[in-house]
Structure 1
């Protein structure tokens, strides 16, 4: 059994105290721990007819179920023995032996006549047993009789009986192919007993509905837990990108939906699938927050470590010298470069860097203004260049946020599509199972009708004929409706996703409000991104204009300097020529004097 424990002896499942039936809590706990499908074998009959002996043989034991008159009247009821099925892997064989329930009037009132036995047991097999032994004294203590003391024919008959039960009994299944596990059998038992105690006849449809409510709640929890467990195992926070987390989320959500589909049934309004979607959405949001927090803390720690030399240099005044601004820029750019090389900083890496750079604006401006090596014009250009770089960082950050919002919306759309796809597959399987059940039921009713006619029950045969015709119409309608399955699914899923056909008098649902808020946030980010781009372009135009004006001014200054230099050169040349002429005249005059 799935619980890992094996029952060594039967336990009373339903106790009969006078006219009141009570379910044994200990037996319910045993069933609740069995997650495997069960094969249920029950036996009814008079005292001392070999019921308990045969059940012991099915359990592979010579004793266990108490035989005949050894049962005290106050403990009579339904006894249960759960053992691993000898031939069906991963199945549990549930043996039920009745003792003394026939004295309960409520049970008598709910016992159906022979025709109903035919209706509920379409396949019947009869076994005839010889006496186990000719010794009447041994008949009262069969559990103590050695195998070799029993009649050989009886032994062979018992062996054939057990083999047939093991090979031909099927997994307990309810309408629409719902497989019954131990825990589901527990709910059925409690519901049936409560109904019988009220004096009513149990209605299978109501029982299945009650079972579905309980099982679907469990299925939601099991699927949500699977999602969380797999996310924890597969994620390493912080993830390098948001898309990395969303991809893991998509895989885990797909598996969670499959878990829910496997364990849920009769979720006709899709309220439990919607509950799972909401739960997964909230847990995904929590993982996103954890990822952002991990990224923020890790990025801050790395940046703090890398910026320590820069901060120390600032504190001791290293950059408060002529040319210090250039040295500061080199040190700051090295911090940025080293930071960008750090791997897997996560989704908050740019935001942390942006905060760091914004915190440096005042210090950077102070160093710039105090640098005596720079002219006024150069300082103005440097300040404008710093603003341009800051604007570029802001645009880059906004672009990342916009991209991440788009990725989240796309992930949400994929989630809806995955839910629709798996729901479609499940509905197709359920429809096919329902069709097979209907055809099986039709075949059975036709057989009963034939038997009733042969036995002369004409009125009952006519009544059954009407049921058969109705069932045939249902089968035909089911086949014809198959082509419209797709639109029907989308109608159901539309209601499930809220798009839930909201009340016209109500202005939307909370879920719609969240979706609209997300869309508005994306729209706002897009607008802000566009505005920042426009500002950046304006700053760039301004910067280019200032550069152009500075270039023109420098060009004019250069031309003026060139003209001044040429003028000075001409003046010097003229003076040089005059000096040479004067020297020549002096030399000539000297020569004349000498003559």
Structure 2
């Protein structure tokens, strides 16, 4: 069952230290490791002392939590985290990230500002940029960190293969969050040429480019181009000043009726939008991130920064895949073990009964694995799942045999007590004793077969029992005075023939059981192959959908540029769109062959004698 977290107060996720730089905090990782639900990660960034923490507390439906402070000093250092049950999406956890204010003059060295901004983008599913006043050139200049993203993030570990390949930055939208610009203490009227406009239209007007190629124009356009390129899903909210300047120092203590009514409505509208529209955190391929994986992402990105490298999005996904696929195998094997223990009533009457139960439990196990596993390197982990499940199944088969054997041996000991007494009393050591012995033994066998629930070793244990009495039977036969030597010879031959027939029957049943087991493994591997194909096809469809969404964004942006008269920029973007479309068609046409390669990789991990049956 998915976990639900309750944190009374925020904790530091990534500390910004003077000696070690950015450091992920173990306490926060422990909290995240316990969250198995999908996470909706809402982060806020912006200049220090602009009221970011207050908005985040409101998103948490609390008055206090993230530190507000009441002076010109920045209170939040690093990135702080608050995990709460999601107010609108059951089964999800809302993760709020409050970040260190950008541009704090007290820090002196501001190199970590960019990294804080980068990490906020990479970890969130919704990014709120908080500023004051209006969206003017000063506000854009304060958002200069967005211009540096291409220098501080890379998509792939390997360099571009050719000039025709699309730049990494053109695909950042696959990883980047939705974007909300929150403008605080807004004093203007939302009007253009006397006509009322929405806050979203106000933002889009502010993001329009200027014509020209001079340095000033480039400086003006660059942050706007980056926002338009990296954040196609954009939203804007404007907020009046919440209270009088005298009351702002105790903002978190103010009751609702002490706040400006218009401001209250604006905050409620903002919170409702964030709660209802913010998506779960995902990575390309549509794989939803849990709290546990969010912690792994944070560690991966911070370790890259600490090493002096640039965070690589593709490498981060691969690292997550290794962790998650290994965890998926472990969880799936545990589920299989638990299901078998709950449902298997040992000993089963037949091998087929246990194999059918195995098939049911393995199907549920495979569903869990496929739901959790990443497609990256899935084949080797699925093969490992098969090996571990097979090992558990083999143990259950052995336990089933042993349970059957124990029950059968106990039954024969109980049934043979009457004959043992008669043997000790010499009942069979008389003329006609052999026939009497054979009659009693046959009666014992008939009673044995009447007993229910003996299990799969019933035949084998009985034959071992009869074999153990072979010498005794021969002795009784030889001492029976009522039989001639010729009769004794015939009886001995008849006994040998019957024993041989019984042994052949045991071997025949064993051969039939082995065939059932082989057929069961073949069905299992075919089901694994089928589910692997479905998983890969699903991932491919999701990737194609994401690629199409990216193409639509580029096409829409190109049309907007052309409409505004930026023909050269529109042409450049059209070339990017064209190359993305080529990549899309190539991927779509080659996905089936790629899936075929993956299936061959999976088959190569199976035992050779089984692969020959699967072909």
* Structure 2 length-normalised TM: 0.78
8 Å CA contact 1:47, 1:69 repeated in 2: no
2:173 maps to none
Alignment partner of 1:126: what SS?
Answer: strand
Which stretch of structure 1 is more off in the superposition, 69-78 or 268-277? 69-78
Which of 382, 387, 412 is residue 273 of structure 1 equivalent to? 382
1:496 maps to 602
Which of 395, 399, 409 is residue 508 of structure 2 equivalent to? 399
Once the two structures are TM-superposed, the CA of residue 481 in structure 1 deviates from its matched residue by 4.0
2:17 maps to 17
Once the two structures are TM-superposed, the CA of residue 257 in structure 1 deviates from its matched residue by 0.8
Unmatched 5+ stretches in structure 1: 501-510, 519-595
8 Å CA contact 1:40, 1:172 repeated in 2: yes
Alignment partner of 1:428: what SS?
Answer: helix
CA distance in 1, matches of 2:567, 2:94: 40
1:66 to 2:37 alignment: no
| Deviations 1:30-88, CA, capped at 9 Å, x for gaps | 11111111111111112332211111111001111111456976961111111111111
CA distance in 2, matches of 1:118, 1:385: 95
More helix by share: 1
8 Å CA contact 1:296, 1:349 repeated in 2: yes
Once the two structures are TM-superposed, the CA of residue 185 in structure 1 deviates from its matched residue by 0.7
2:114 maps to 108
CA distance in 1, matches of 2:44, 2:579: 34
CA distance in 1, matches of 2:604, 2:42: 45
8 Å CA contact 2:48, 2:102 repeated in 1: no
Once the two structures are TM-superposed, the CA of residue 436 in structure 1 deviates from its matched residue by 0.9
8 Å CA contact 1:16, 1:101 repeated in 2: no
CA distance in 1, matches of 2:439, 2:272: 88
1:389 maps to 498
8 Å CA contact 1:107, 1:196 repeated in 2: no
* Structure 1 length-normalised TM: 0.80
- Bigger Cα Rg: 1
CA distance in 2, matches of 1:39, 1:259: 22
8 Å CA contact 1:238, 1:294 repeated in 2: yes
1:7 maps to 7
CA distance in 1, matches of 2:70, 2:602: 58
8 Å CA contact 2:318, 2:376 repeated in 1: no
| Deviations 1:526-549, CA, capped at 9 Å, x for gaps | xxxxxxxxxxxxxxxxxxxxxxxx
Once the two structures are TM-superposed, the CA of residue 120 in structure 1 deviates from its matched residue by 2.7
Alignment partner of 2:13: what SS?
Answer: strand
Which of 156, 162, 187 is residue 296 of structure 2 equivalent to? 187
After the TM superposition, which residues 316-327 of structure 1 pair with which residues of structure 2 at under 5 Å, given as runs? 316-327=425-436
Structure 1 residues 14 and 452, CA gap change in structure 2 (3 angstroms):
farther
Alignment partner of 1:44: what SS?
Answer: strand
1:346 to 2:455 alignment: yes
1:129 to 2:242 alignment: no
TM-align CA RMSD: 2.3
8 Å CA contact 1:31, 1:186 repeated in 2: yes
Alignment partner of 1:95: what SS?
Answer: strand
CA distance in 1, matches of 2:422, 2:75: 92
Alignment partner of 1:63: what SS?
Answer: coil
After the TM superposition, which residues 340-489 of structure 1 pair with which residues of structure 2 at under 5 Å, given as runs? 340-453=449-562, 461-481=570-590, 485=592, 488-489=594-595
1:336 to 2:445 alignment: yes
Structure 1 residues 90 and 80, CA gap change in structure 2 (3 angstroms):
same
Which stretch of structure 1 is more off in the superposition, 223-232 or 447-456? 447-456
Once the two structures are TM-superposed, the CA of residue 101 in structure 1 deviates from its matched residue by 5.2
Which stretch of structure 1 is more off in the superposition, 261-270 or 8-17? 261-270
Aligned residue pair count: 503
The one of the two structures with greater contact order (alpha-carbon pairs below 8 A, sep at least 6) is: 2
CA distance in 1, matches of 2:293, 2:456: 45
1:209 maps to 318
1:48 maps to 49
2:420 maps to 311
CA distance in 2, matches of 1:471, 1:324: 94
8 Å CA contact 2:45, 2:101 repeated in 1: no
Once the two structures are TM-superposed, the CA of residue 513 in structure 1 deviates from its matched residue by 7.8
Alignment partner of 2:146: what SS?
Answer: coil
2:36 maps to 35
Structure 1 residues 2 and 389, CA gap change in structure 2 (3 angstroms):
closer
Once the two structures are TM-superposed, the CA of residue 459 in structure 1 deviates from its matched residue by 5.9
Structure 1 residues 260 and 189, CA gap change in structure 2 (3 angstroms):
same
CA distance in 1, matches of 2:402, 2:86: 51
